[in-house]
Structures are given as structure tokens and as C-alpha cells.
Amino acid sequence: MAWKMSFEYDERHDVVTATFEDCILNNALDVARWRTEVEGHLSRYPSKVDLLINLDGLVVKYTAGRVFGRERSEVLARYTHRSFRFGGDEMTKMFVSTSGTINGAAVNVYKTRDEALAALLADRKAEAEGRPSLAGKRAG
């Protein structure tokens, strides 16, 4: 299989879903490629988006973890309003969690897309009602 990513807009929920296939980040060069491609997709939208990220197919190896954490945080701050994740292997989820803590990026990892979408919609509702955002909290 070859490295592939896609970003699909869900008009009904006004959310973009990022899907990765065989995106294995072994080192800083892989992370730079990942960032360039993600920015290429997200920059097509006229404003910041709400993003669901399918972590299945995105593998962050230990040797790329620190760089990935920094780059991920910067990309999300620039292109997203809120982001929620689902799926993924344990190592990748660990780097998402660790980098979220270190860099102040949202963690929000859920088992399924439906759970992640429900959490995103609840966060929107909380924001609209003037309640604190849930975006910085981690779910099981």
C-alpha cells in the first residue's frame, strides 16, 4: 500500500474528516511530508474547520514522536477550530496524548467516529451556550 490521505467535508454536520492510509512517520522527514500534505488539504477551506481525525492508518513511530507533536500542534492551531480523534494504534494515541499535554493541543481520542462526532457536536453546543469548551479534555 502507498501513503495516502483524504479530507472529506460532511455538509450535514459541517465537519471535515481526515483519513490516513499507510502514513508511517519514522523520522522528521516523514513528519515534514505529513505536515505539508495536511496543510495542502486544510488550506483549501476558506476558514478554520472542525476536524475529525481517523488515526487508523497514521502510525507515529517513537523516532518521530517529538517532532510530530510539535508539528501537529502548529497545524491544528492554524487550520482548525476544534479537533477530535478516533481509532489508531496505542503508540500513535500515546504521542497524541503526550504532545497535547506538552504543546497545549487538544487530545480528544475516542473509539469510533460516531463517538468523536458526538463529542464534537456537544462541544459546539457548549460553546454556543457560553459554557467552557470540552476540546481540551481527553475521553476514553
Q: Which of 23-37, 52-66, 84-98 has the highest mean pLDDT?
A: 23-37
Q: Residue 43, exposed/middle/buried by CB under 10 A (0-12, 13-18, 19+)?
A: exposed
**Whole-angstrom Cα distance, residue 25 to residue 31?**
6
Q: Name the pTM for this structure.
A: 0.86
Mean pLDDT lowest among 7-11, 26-30, 31-35, 104-108: 104-108
pLDDT (0 to 100) of residue 54: 96
Is a pLDDT exceeding 50 seen at residue 16? yes
